[in-house]
Amino acid sequence: MDLKEFEYVLAINEEKSFSKAAKKLFISQPSLSQYINRLEGQLGVTLFDRNTIPLSLTYEGELYINSVKAIMNIVANMRKSFEDISDLKIGRVNIGLTPSKANSPLPAILPVFKKAYPGIELIITERTSSELEDMLLRGQVDICLLNLPIKSKGIEYDAIKKENIYIAAPPDFTPPKGVNTEAEYPQIELDDLKNEQFILLHSSQRLRQIADSIFNSENFKPKILLETASIETSLRLSAAGMGFSFVPESYVRFSGLSNPPKYYTLSHDLNWTLVIAYREGAYRTKAVNAFAETAKKVIAE
């Protein structure tokens, strides 16, 4: 059963004549008659009463025509949906990201994207980086916002931005003498914080792993007040005077705190790279590409 079959039967029904239908279809009448005879043989029914003038449908033919019209309507709607998807009027993107990315920069990206593409559905999944890598490889999400390094094979990515990682200090923290407090982000030494308390992420999280690598390289044992899964929580606790935390640049930009902590840099080159990750070789829909381009633009700005 194919669309040509439907076209032939509908033409005969509309013209009430094999010869007129053949002319309309630009084929010979014998060819059209043979085609319909084979179709009726395959279906085991007679579609047209050839003894009437003009040609009329049998009862089975009426059932067939009604079904064909319903199918053609479905096909037309399907083609319209494909056109809408192609024009980005509708679509769906499954986005995977860590809770920290859900807090920042996702709130900055979504309003811009939804304004440009209001008909595209977004499904947001929050997991740890390692869980997201696994979901991406399984095809459970289309795209992920992650930070390098990516540990799984079979994932490709577009780098968006290398962002600095700062030390967030309580607002009342007084830096040691010699620190250039006029700088936007004054530089301090880790050893200056040996008597201070830290609010750190869990050991499975990338930002904590970066912090631990710094601690290990300096043979520094931090005094840990508490561990949390949320960068926002650690940032807010630092702002409340509870201790020091490691904060990515995007959180500094998008935190919106009325009484933010003070931000410092370490002498180490402390940064990470934000990327949009895809399963290697996977087909990227126009909706996926549109979200990726919007994210890049918003974060770059």
Sketch out the chain's domains with CATH numbers: 3-86 (1.10.10.10), 91-160+273-300 (3.40.190.10), 162-272 (3.40.190.290)
Tokens 């960068």 map to which residue? 231
Tens-binned pLDDT, residue by residue, of the chain (301 aa): 567 788 888 889 889 999 999 998 889 999 989 989 998 898 999 999 988 888 999 999 999 999 988 888 787 777 767 766 777 888 889 999 988 788 778 888 999 999 999 988 899 999 888 889 999 988 889 999 998 888 889 999 999 888 899 999 999 898 888 888 888 899 999 988 999 999 999 988 888 988 998 999 889 999 999 999 888 899 999 999 999 999 988 777 655 667 789 999 987 778 888 899 999 888 888 889 999 999 999 988 7
DSSP 136: H
Total residue length of the chain? 301
The sign one gets for the Cα dihedral 229, 235, 238, 240 is: negative
What are the structure tokens assigned to 50, written together? 């050839």
Rounded to whole angstroms, the Cα distance separating 296 from 301 reads: 9
**Cis, bond preceding 54 (omega within 30 deg of 0):** yes
Which residues fall within 8 angstroms of residue 68, CB to CB, at 6 or more apart?
6, 9, 10
